[in-house]
Chain A
Amino acid sequence: MAVKQIVMGLNGDEAVAYAIKQVDPDVVAAYPITPQTIIVERFSEYVANGEVHTEFVAVESEHSALSACVGAAAAGARAFTATAANGLALMWEILYIAASCRLPIVMAIVNRALSAPINIHCDHSDAMGARDSGWIQIFCENSQEAYDSTIQAWRIAEHPDVQLPVMVCLDGFVLSHTLENVMTLPNDIVKKFVGERKFVTVKNHFGKEVPLILDPENPITIGPLDLYDFYFEHKMQQIDAMGKAPKVIEEIGKEYGELSGRTYGLVHPYKLEDAEIAIVGLGSTMGTAKIVVDKLREKGVKAGLLRVRAFRPFPVRQIVENLKDKKAIGVLDRAASFGAYGGPLFNEVRNVFYDQDIRPLISNYIYGLGGRDMPPQRLMTIFEDLQKIAETRRIEKTVKYIGVRG
């Protein structure tokens, strides 16, 4: 039985801030950037009103925001930050360091296009630039999920098999600034679900098994110089941890579901079982796409969709299982990878089917750059294209750009 919940009118940023308030981490270090700003502002209010015990570090840049989180998390604290676009780009160096030092930091990314020209609206180019940094990346469909994932993220990050930082991605403006009814859990339930931070142990340079934190009683060294004799082994450990993350994300998503009635996994299928054509994508667009699927179903078209919630780790098995028997698949990318053969999600999805005997026809639709709208009609044209591909068994153009003027 799910616990009693309170419905609150929150936009995506407020939902994240509220979740963080309930988690009450030790340190929040953040720097404002549209469309993430509301998170920082709301959280500052919680601090100002003494609603959290958090030490809020109003840093002078995003680079310092994540750097401070690294220091805090290494000192055993729960540390949170939030950013978008240019801010994430400025953090880039430290993204890798946070992941490599195995620090379970949680960060909200309010997805926004990268400059230039400067643009404050949604696309996924910011998060995609961080896809190889060693962070877990969760993409949310709505503010409810932003709230729910911000709570789950701590459990995933701190899981002893994982010990990796987590990004909770939500679409700028579409989610961050749009009011929604969000079901919230009571404080004590959130506290209990998240629990206390536990620490994995390592052997230090005095031969003692000690917690992986900066504790004067049990000194360890974090961030040494690593040469060709050990660096690869350390990367192998990160690869291994990412490999263990899918199971953990699913377990925690399920446990959260038992508590809240909202279960989360790595991928979220919609009317996919008997579908012949399907789209695959990330974030809020997939919410709109459900309406389009419903319309097509009314017309008797066997359409469905698969929303990828975890982009890192990439859910290879789940993608194959859900899509292997489809005739045509359209992968939606809200980011361009200049010079590549298609967008990042497309590349990953198509890649996993290479090993399969029967492969669906897969094409790529790049859309929504810099906040360009993706209304149902536009999604409808994609499904129409997929219908044609399914019928003719031919893809005329593998990578298409949707909604751009010629």
Chain B
Amino acid sequence: MSSEEKLPGWREIPIAGVPYKPSTEYKTGDWKVYKPVINYEKCTKCMFCHTYCPDGAIKIREDGFPEPDYDFCKGCGICAEECPVKAIEMVKD
């Protein structure tokens, strides 16, 4: 059986091509080779990493510190490159 046959049929999906799943159900985290690791001793909560992440993969914790969401982080390295205090290191995933 081909994989297409396991997908819903035309009567089961919304009309007009309207998507029915949030993209958060699609994990882009496995694209990465290196992952960002934050050194919280250095972090000043400046928010550059969160702001510059193309994937919105740096969430803000309740304590105000940033935290990478590895489910979606593609490992581009922008956050590490732009962190003004070099608090982020890219390490092999």
Contacts and interface: CB of A to CB of B under 8 A. Distances in A.
Given A205-B22, A206-B22, A229-B4, A236 B17 contact: no
- Please list the 10 inter-chain residue pairs (A to B) with the smallest Cβ-Cβ separation, ordered nearest first: A202-B14, A233-B10, A236-B10, A102-B16, A202-B18, A205-B22, A205-B19, A221-B19, A203-B20, A234-B17
Interface string B1-23: 00110011110011111111111
A307 B7 CA distance: 44
A226 interface: yes
A212 interface: yes
B20 A224 contact: no
Nearest to B22: A205
Contacts of A228: 4
Interface string A224-262: 101011101110110011000000000000000000000
23 contacts: A100-B16, A101-B16, A101-B17, A102-B16, A202-B20, A203-B18, A203-B20, A205-B19, A212-B16, A221-B19, A222-B17, A223-B17, A224-B17, A224-B18, A224-B19, A226-B17, A229-B3, A229-B4, A230-B7, A233-B13, A236-B10, A237-B10, A237-B13
A100 B17 contact: yes
Interface string A151-166: 0000000000001000
A204 interface: yes
A402 B82 CA distance: 76
Please tell me the size bucket of the interface on A.
20 to 34
B20 A205 contact: yes
B10 A202 contact: no
Contacts, number: 65
Nearest to B3: A229
Interface in A34-55: none
Nearest to A238: B15
Interface in A148-193: 163
Given A205-B20, A205-B22, A206-B22, A200 B15 contact: yes
A237 B15 CA distance: 7
Nearest to B23: A205
Nearest to B17: A234
A220 interface: yes
A241 B11 CA distance: 11
B47 to A, nearest CB: 26
A224 B17 CA distance: 7
Given A101-B17, A220-B18, A224-B17, 17 more contacts: A100-B17, A102-B15, A102-B16, A202-B14, A202-B15, A202-B18, A205-B20, A205-B21, A222-B16, A222-B17, A224-B18, A224-B19, A229-B3, A230-B7, A233-B9, A233-B13, A237-B13
Nearest to A206: B22
A226 B4 CA distance: 14
A202 B9 contact: no
A229 B15 CA distance: 15
Interface in B32-72: none
Nearest to A200: B15
Contacts of A221: 18-19
Contacts of B21: 205
B60 to A, nearest CB: 22
Contacts of B8: 233
Nearest to A163: B15
Interface in A76-132: 100-102
Contact of B13 (A163, A200, A230): A230
Nearest to A99: B16
Contacts of A224: 17-19
